[in-house]
Amino acid sequence: MKAFELAGFWLRFAAFLVDSIILSAPMYIIKSVFPQTASIINLAICALYFIFFVSVFGKTPGKMFFRIKVVKSDLKPVGWKEGTLRFLGTVLSQILLFGGYIIMLWDKNRQTLHDKITGTYVIIEK
């Protein structure tokens, strides 16, 4: 893992904040219009957003803004399988009180739980 630079915690966190801001407007509207089912609908929107962008482009709009992307260990693009498993891994990380994210602070390859599950890395684009 030396031919490229791995994205660190704060860069990845900033990208996630951008994605959260992008998602907040539609999620707020849905919560206002469908208060009883908003949680399920918003989870589906998040799933579609993260799975689509990571699977098709290797990066979400937040990652695009900070010029970082998700790749497999051979540096090839991720596919739908990895994109879907990564999203499910992020849900697990959140259930574990964000412990799945925090582990990257001590990981030599800066991998989160969902990176380890899918064998992916987040790298800085040159």
10-residue stretch averages of pLDDT, the chain, 126 residues long: 85 98 96 94 97 98 98 96 97 92 95 96 95
Is 4 inside a domain boundary?
no
Tell me how far apart the alpha carbons of residues 22 and 103 are, in angstroms, rounded to a whole number.
26
Is 99 inside a domain boundary?
yes
What are residue 68's phi and psi, to 5 degrees? -125, 155
Is 1 inside a domain boundary?
no
- Residue 6: DSSP 8-state: B
| pLDDT for res 2 | 59
Tell me how far apart the alpha carbons of residues 29 and 108 are, in angstroms, rounded to a whole number.
41
Tell me how far apart the alpha carbons of residues 98 and 23 are, in angstroms, rounded to a whole number.
19
Q: Global pTM?
A: 0.92
Nearest to 115 by CA among 105, 126, 106, 104: 104
| pLDDT for res 52 | 99
Is 61 inside a domain boundary?
yes
| pLDDT for res 126 | 84
| pLDDT for res 50 | 98
Is 103 inside a domain boundary?
yes
- Which run of H or E residues covers position 122? strand 120-124
Place of tokens 């010029």: 67
The total number of structural domains in the chain stands at 1
Measure the CA dihedral 15/124/95/99, to 10°.
Answer: -120
Is 57 inside a domain boundary?
yes
Give the tokens for residue 23. Answer: 């998602």
| pLDDT for res 1 | 47
Residue 68's domain comprises: 9-124
Is 84 inside a domain boundary?
yes
Is 109 inside a domain boundary?
yes
